[in-house]
């Protein structure tokens, strides 16, 4: 019977083409939007983890309270022993200390007088130690626009846009004017080794990347760091595992009232990420519900039109002895065939579009001019195993709902009128 119904569907385009197109479009959009949101979510997590939060982050309790102000006077001290201890206790994690700092970057002329000057947001990371993970975490080779990655002490990278604004070339000298950990003025000279563009507006506006040893020396932060970031070895964030590590770490220091005791936080608990992720999850769910509702309405209407067109056929089937329930079920089977076929095609098209956007991305830098979020300017879709099946939820649910409602008309058909109806 199913084969018989399938043949009928395929041969009668008025019965199959419009509903299949409806499902294809709905499923395609669902898959595409799901992957898009998935990509945005991955982008948020990945960019924030690499540039800001890590998968977990350790700060002093006092620093954590005012982290937005980058209060280096409240930074952790005795960092090396703490990192060694962390490596010992959590050997699968990568631990790396960082110092964030603000200041002015002064570009001198040939006489040593200020030629250009601009505010800079600095990040001191381990660039020069053998086996350091930071160049990889920051993807410096990929981000490099001009010059080279620092290979010696006192070499820095600055963002390309910032460099153009200050008319700085690789090889030029730049002077950092900032504040030491104790609050006195700090001045240090560096050589610009290269320029970078991360594709993250918050970093590209005016960032400076320096080796942590140089900044410790400049800011008088010997064996200190504002924060220690921890990453999972595969750089994929797993919240339950991160929470577990955080709970364990904090439990060990929970009773200590010292303001400078180290505290750990997960990525999702920093910078409002929990709310952001909840919002994205809600959007994903909303997309599904909206598409199920819209497609159901369209397919309900298509089912009603189909019932009118097939009035004679259904009458004959009733006369031949097919029960109303059997016909009703066959209409649902037909719609499920349409749902499966439409979902397969829609998923294939949606995945093709998603893979394209996963590879090439869409530049939304023009929308991010004043953004302080660590989010890549190039939004990419992200295809996951769920992407292959997500479209089937609205595809099948909508066709089922649409035909279930429109098909109930069959129960209002009176067999006593069949002869007259079939003669007309």
Partner 1 sequence: MENSYLIETRDLVKTYPMGEHTIVALDKVNLKFEKAEFTGLVGPSGSGKTTLLNIIGSLDSPTSGSAVVMGRKVEGLSHKQASALRNHHIGFIFQTFNLLPVYTVFENVEFPLLLLDYSAAERRKMTMVALDWVGLADRTRSKPAQLSGGQSQRVAIARAVVKKPALILADEPTANLDAENSHHILQTMERLNRDLGTTFVFATHDEKVIDYLRRKITLFDGAVAKDERMEPQRPGGEKR
Which chain residues interact with partner 1 by CB under 8 A? 1, 4, 7-8, 11-12, 312-313, 315-326, 415-416, 418-420, 422-424
- Min dist CB 304 to partner 1, Å, is 19
Residue 289 CB, shortest distance to partner 1, in Å, is: 35
Identify whether the C-beta of residue 192 lies closer than 8 Å to the C-beta of residue 158.
yes
Q: 249-270 burial by CB neighbour count: b if 16+ within 10 A, else e?
A: beeeeeeeeeeebbbbbbbbbb
Where b means 16+ CB within 10 Å and e means fewer, 5-26 reads eeeebeeeeebbebbbbbbbbb
Place of tokens 């900032």: 178
Half-sphere exposure of 174 (CA within 13 A, CB side): 32
Measuring CA to CA, which residue among 305, 268, 307, 341 is closest to residue 23?
A: 341
Question: By C-beta, is 369 or 412 nearer to partner 1?
Answer: 412
Of 4 and 366, nearer to partner 1 (C-beta) is 4
DSSP H or E segment with residue 395: helix 392-406
Q: Which is nearer to partner 1, 19 or 206 (CB)?
A: 19
Q: Minimum CB separation from partner 1 for residue 45, in Å?
A: 52
DSSP state of 261: S
Nearest to partner 1 of 184, 424 (CB atom): 424
Shortest spacing between CB 419 and partner 1, in angstroms: 5
Q: What is the DSSP letter of 310?
A: T
Cβ at position 405, least distance to partner 1 in Å = 21
**Contact, 306 vs 15, CB < 8 A?**
yes
Residue 294 CB, nearest approach to partner 1 (Å): 29
> Whole-angstrom Cα distance, residue 48 to residue 159?
18
Q: Among residues 311 and 388, whose Cβ is nearest to partner 1?
A: 311
Contact predicate 136/182, CB 8 Å? no
Is the CB of residue 36 less than 8 Å from the CB of residue 43?
no
Closer to partner 1 by Cβ: residue 5 or 213? 5
Q: Which is nearer to partner 1, 181 or 327 (CB)?
A: 327
Q: Which is nearer to partner 1, 370 or 416 (CB)?
A: 416
398: nearest Cα among 309, 279, 288: 288
Rounded CA-CA distance 354/189 in Å is: 47
Nearest approach in angstroms of CB 301 to partner 1 is 21
Its sign, for the CA torsion 163, 169, 171, 176, is negative
* Smallest gap from residue 420 Cβ to partner 1 (A): 7
């Amino acid at each position: 019977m199913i084969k018989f119904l399938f043949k009928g569907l395929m041969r009668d385009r008025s019965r199959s083409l419009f509903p299949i197109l409806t499902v294809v479009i709905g499923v395609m959009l669902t898959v595409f939007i799901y992957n898009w949101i998935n990509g945005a979510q991955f982008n948020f997590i990945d960019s924030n983890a690499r540039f800001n939060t890590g998968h977990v982050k350790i700060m002093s309790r006092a620093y954590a309270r005012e982290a937005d102000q980058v209060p280096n006077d409240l930074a952790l001290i005795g960092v090396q022993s703490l990192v060694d201890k962390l490596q010992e206790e959590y050997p699968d994690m990568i631990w790396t200390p960082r110092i964030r700092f603000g200041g002015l970057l002064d570009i001198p002329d040939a006489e040593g007088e200020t030629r250009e000057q601009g505010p800079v947001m600095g990040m001191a990371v381990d660039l020069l130690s053998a086996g350091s993970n930071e160049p990889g975490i920051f993807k410096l080779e990929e981000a490099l626009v001009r010059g080279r990655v620092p290979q010696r002490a006192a070499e820095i990278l600055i963002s390309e846009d910032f460099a153009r604004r200050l008319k700085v070339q690789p090889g030029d000298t730049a002077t950092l004017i900032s504040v030491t950990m104790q609050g006195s003025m700090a001045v240090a000279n560096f050589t610009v080794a290269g320029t970078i563009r991360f594709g993250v507006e918050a970093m590209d506006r005016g960032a400076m990347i320096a080796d942590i040893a140089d900044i410790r020396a400049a800011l008088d932060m010997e064996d200190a760091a504002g924060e220690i970031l921890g990453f999972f070895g595969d750089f994929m964030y797993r919240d339950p595992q991160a929470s577990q590590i955080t709970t364990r770490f904090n439990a060990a220091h929970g009773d200590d009232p010292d303001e400078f005791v180290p505290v750990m936080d997960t990525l999702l608990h920093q910078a409002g990420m929990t709310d952001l992720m909840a919002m994205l999850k809600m959007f994903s769910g909303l997309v599904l519900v909206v598409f199920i509702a819209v497609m159901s309405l369209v397919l309900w209407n298509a089912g009603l039109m189909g019932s009118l067109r097939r009035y004679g056929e259904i009458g004959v089937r009733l006369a031949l002895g097919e029960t109303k329930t059997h016909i009703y079920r066959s209409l649902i089977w037909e719609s499920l065939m349409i749902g499966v076929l439409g979902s397969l095609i829609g998923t294939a098209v949606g995945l093709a579009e998603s893979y394209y956007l996963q590879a090439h991305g869409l530049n939304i830098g023009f929308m991010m001019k004043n953004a302080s979020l660590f989010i890549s300017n190039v939004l990419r879709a992200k295809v996951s195993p769920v992407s292959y099946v997500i479209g089937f939820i609205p595809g099948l649910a909508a066709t089922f709902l649409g035909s279930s409602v429109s098909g109930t008309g069959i129960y209002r058909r009176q067999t006593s009128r069949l002869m007259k109806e079939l003669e007309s």
